Amino acid sequence: MEVETKPLDYPPLTDDLEEAKNHLDEYGVCIVKDAFSPEEVDVIDKRLKEQFAGEEKHKVGTKSRGDEGYGVKSSNEEKVSRLVWNLINKGDCFIPLIDHPKLFPLINHIIGEHVVLCSMGAHMNGSGNERMPLHMDQWPLVPHPLDFPVMANTMVLVTDNSPENGGTRLIPGSHKWPKIDYKTANSSKYQDMAKSITAPKGSAIVWEGRVWHGNGLNRSGEVRSNISIAYLQSWIRPQENSQYSVREGVLEKLTEKQKEVLGFSPFGTLGGHDGSSVSRAEFDRNRESIGILKG
């Protein structure tokens, strides 16, 4: 028997925190109006473009066409999009995004007070890209099909998003659907339900981890840039191992709250050292971890 699935329209943009929380409950999605000022967006956009050019020049980082999730192989020339990973190391303008005051309360609303950053990276989708498969962020990253949210995502719009430039496609309301498999979700029926969002740069989309979504087809002739900031409940292993990958000079700039979100603070009895639930960002494993001893 076919499961009952029906999409909702996108909720309206809002700058009211309580209204945004209500949208998350109903739609699984909210769109935050004016989350960033034009000046903030300009700084972020400039830094991303510089990083894009630098990673191209030094032939590092990740490029894609978009449809690799279908098992499709493509040439380097066809890979018109760049994924710029671990932005925390790539500019001071990205550090406030860890716990942004207009967005982080919405993450807490979805998955609770104790969260850890899963990853922060930019999707710079070039014109001529292909669609990635529709997917949920929460599953199979968390391999059990849980019926409650343990993951949430923020997407900061660095450029205007529209159907023409392949704005992110979501299916509002799909967080309440019965479980369907990925093959079913990528049939024409569900692909047609996923509509590109139309929203101006400086706004942000927040959605919970069970919402089906994917990129759109960019045919605008320009690059569309968004920053994806994903969070997990603190007991789940994140995509980016921040304790390993955050550079020492960057670590010195972080607040204690930001270090906590990056996983430097234990969660209960998890994530400590030598059985202790006490840990610090500046912990020196070579000096402070107990090694081989003899009486």
What pLDDT is recorded for position 1? 42
Q: What is the pLDDT of residues 223-263, one digit of tens each?
A: 999 999 999 999 999 999 999 999 999 999 999 999 999 99
pLDDT at residue 116, as a whole number: 97
Give pLDDT, residue 44: 98
Higher pLDDT, 263 or 279: 263
- The CA-atom distances, in angstroms, between 168 and each of 79, 123, 132, 160, 285 are 18, 10, 11, 11, 42
Q: Token pair for residue 134?
A: 């529709």
163, pLDDT greater than 90? yes
What fold, for 17-282? Answer: Jelly Rolls (2.60.120)
Question: What's the residue count for the chain?
Answer: 295
Report which of residues 56 and 271 the model is more confident about: 56
pLDDT at 277: 66
278 versus 67: the higher-pLDDT residue is 67
User: Residues near 152 by Cβ (< 8 Å), separated by ≥ 6?
Assistant: 106, 107, 110, 111, 115, 206, 207, 208, 209, 230, 231
Neighbours of 276 (CB within 10 A): 9
pLDDT digits (tens, 9 = 90+) for 5-47: 899 999 999 999 999 999 999 999 999 999 999 999 999 999 9
How confident is the model over 88-136, as pLDDT tens digits? 999 999 999 999 999 999 999 999 999 999 999 999 999 999 999 999 9
Question: What is the pTM assigned to this prediction?
Answer: 0.94
In this predicted model, what pLDDT tens digit does every residue of 68-93 receive, in sequence order? 999 999 999 999 999 999 999 999 99
What confidence tier does 287 reach under pLDDT thresholds 50, 70, 90? confident
